[in-house]
Chain A
Amino acid sequence: MSILVYTENWEGKFKKLSFELVSYANEMAKQLGTEVTAVSIGNVDDTELKSLGLYGASKVINVNDAQLEKLSNAPYARVIADAATKENAQVIVFAHNNAGKAIAPRVSVKLKAGLVSGASEAPSCYDPFTVKKKAFTGKAFANIVVKSAVKIVTLSQNSFGLVEDAKDAFIEAYAPTLDAAEFKTEVKDTNKITGKVLLNDAEIVVSAGRGLKGPENWGPIEEMAELLGAATACSRPVSDEEWRPHSEHVGQTGKIIAPNLYFAFGISGAIQHLGGVSSSKVIVAVNTDKDAPIFEAADYGIIGDAQKILPQLVEAIKSAKAE
């Protein structure tokens, strides 16, 4: 019996997301009186694998096969499902990210395991197994009961946090037999956005909308983001007008993010935008319109012209940092 957690790696390294998943799995393991086993697919060294132990993993299944270097949904799902069966996993945990969304549903059908996707908390009850998740694109929460013997949960990023529970993780190499016929997809080319803080991982996000009037006014946004080690984001009209790249669009049809701090400069706060940022821990809004709906969602607000406020804010942050 165990809780199996799929810990994705990025060029051989884990991210905060991976440790958050292990922490989450460990919480379940403690409640169910069992252990956490992580499964890693890729070329990850032992020191990195062992670091999962800090958050409660007592075992790490290490799959390192050149054929699995790039994600291919069906073979990855098969390998993880096999590991789950081998480990007699009662619950399987994935991140609710691109990889998790690609793999978890296939594992669900393979193992006839009910799936809760985008969980926002640890299960509120283990019998029946009940998990809360967001529904209606952030407008409500739903409590889902999973009725099958094996359960799968994909966890929303930055919803559980890191909890240390140091264990000496035992690394077990696992070499599944793979058939070339299982691989119907092939990665031909990779296009990486380098040098910037990734929007999904950023703890602080500095975002702006049409209130900034034009792409030439984005300098202070980028400066503020650089100062805070933050990612930059934008509203949909800004990406539609191509003032900013599409990858920066946050909202219902763009990226859904959950940073600790979200700054919204010159964004009115349309419901579709809020759907993408409502899970932020703290929202700060700056807008000239006192009736802008963003102020209903924000924790702190300034009524004023973002272009005037931004340079002052940058100065104030610099001073605060110097203290």
Chain B
Amino acid sequence: MKILICLSNVPDTTTKVKFTGDNTAFDKAGVQWIINPWDELALTRALEMKEASAGAITCITVATVGGADVEPTMRKGLAIGADEAIRVDADPKDAFYVAAQLAAVANGYDIVMAGIEASDYNGSAVGGMLAEFLNIASVSSVSKMEIEGGAVTVTREIDGGSETVAVQTPFVAIVQKGITKEPRIPAMRGIMMARKKPLNVVPAVDAEMLTEYANYELPAPKAACKMVDAENVKELVDLLKNEAKVL
């Protein structure tokens, strides 16, 4: 069984977000890049399953759409334990376009995993789009995955609960929090081995971009917090009821 993990290269979560070019582009200056947290959880789960599979799962591949600047992040994926990496040399500007690029390299995998969204553009789209391009099943909001004798069972979150779902391979698992407890941290040995693992670069395929980010806005600065005295809690309730009108 082969598993493909789609990795997104995103800014570290504590990054102060700024824009350039009259607010038309994200300012990359000084940004620390990381593996998208949900993709990292997906990769960790895949490695856990591989280790428990007694050889049934033979290979974990990570794939990313991006320029050479995403390679350090891909090497982190290899350091965590992926066996090989594929970079599609293209600018990941639109989800449909990115999914089309991944589809060109995603054939032949039994399970494809992707995080439910990326922490930069919050598109929540690539995983589902990829499944449709590949014409295979997808399950979203996956918070657990188990493989037993080649049969895959996942837990997916629904409003007010969860469902246990049996799914036929090949399929795309779009995963969220819960899929594993914590992301795996690469050990020194992993980091050294990562340099020797294959990172293949393939050219982009012809595909359209259906959306475009015209510009960005920073949120309007919030009015100062109205402080209420701890001795006068009643005043807070009055304000919420009569001023904010939310009680």
Task: State the A residues within 8 Å of B (CB).
Answer: 10, 70-74, 77, 96-99, 101-106, 108-110, 112-118, 130, 132-137, 139-148, 154, 184-194, 198, 200-201, 204, 228, 246, 249, 252-254, 260-261, 271-272, 278, 281-282, 284-285, 295-304, 308-309, 312-313, 316-317, 319-320
Contact = CB atoms under 8 A, between A and B. Distances in A.
Contact of A101 (B124, B165, B226): B124
B240 A143 contact: no
A114 B126 contact: no
16 contacts: A105-B125, A115-B95, A115-B210, A117-B125, A136-B15, A141-B216, A141-B219, A147-B211, A186-B167, A188-B153, A190-B162, A190-B163, A194-B160, A261-B246, A278-B219, A320-B237
Contacts of B132: 74, 77, 105-106, 108-110
A301 B222 CA distance: 14
B166 A73 contact: no
B20 interface: no
Candidate in A136, A148, A261 with the most chain B CB atoms within 10 angstroms: A136
B110 interface: no
Contacts of B131: 73-74, 106
A147 B208 CA distance: 10
A135 B124 contact: no
A188 B165 contact: yes
Contacts of A71: 158
Interface stretch (B56-64, B67-75, B113-121, B187-195): B113-121
B42 interface: no
B128 A135 contact: no
A313 B164 contact: no
A301 B225 CA distance: 6
Contacts of A112: 96, 208, 210
B214 A192 contact: no
B116 to A, nearest CB: 7
Contacts of A77: 132
B126 A105 contact: yes
Contacts of A136: 11, 15, 17, 26, 119-122
A191 B37 contact: no
A109 B211 contact: no
Nearest to B171: A184
Contact of B210 (A146, A184, A316): A146
B138 interface: yes
B141 interface: yes
Given A188-B166, A316-B237, A140 B211 contact: no
A300 B228 contact: yes
A317 B244 CA distance: 15
B147 to A, nearest CB: 15
A192 B166 contact: no
A77 B172 CA distance: 15
A188 B164 contact: yes
Interface size class of B (residues with CB under 8 A): 35 or more
Given A73-B139, A147-B209, A320-B237, A184 B246 contact: no
Contacts of A99: 158
Given A136-B17, A198-B159, A309-B230, A117 B123 contact: yes
B240 A101 contact: no
Given A142-B121, A142-B213, A316-B236, A108 B129 contact: yes
A114 B210 contact: yes
Nearest to B230: A304
A106 B138 contact: yes
Interface of B: 11, 13-15, 17, 19, 26, 37-38, 94-96, 99, 116-117, 119-129, 131-133, 136-141, 153, 156-168, 171, 174, 177-178, 208-219, 222-223, 225-230, 233-234, 236-241, 244, 246-247
Contacts of B165: 185-188
A286 to B, nearest CB: 9
Nearest to B223: A299
A302 B230 contact: yes
A108 B171 contact: no
A190 B214 CA distance: 42
Given A105-B129, A296-B225, A140 B214 contact: no
A145 B216 CA distance: 12
Q: Which one of A101, A147, A295 has the highest number of Cβ atoms from chain B below 10 Å of its Cβ?
A: A101
Contacts of A147: 209-212
Contacts of B163: 70, 187-191
B119 to A, nearest CB: 5
A316 B234 contact: yes
Contacts of B229: 302
A275 to B, nearest CB: 8
B227 A148 contact: no
A105 B168 CA distance: 20
B121 A73 contact: no
B159 A301 contact: no
A34 B17 CA distance: 39
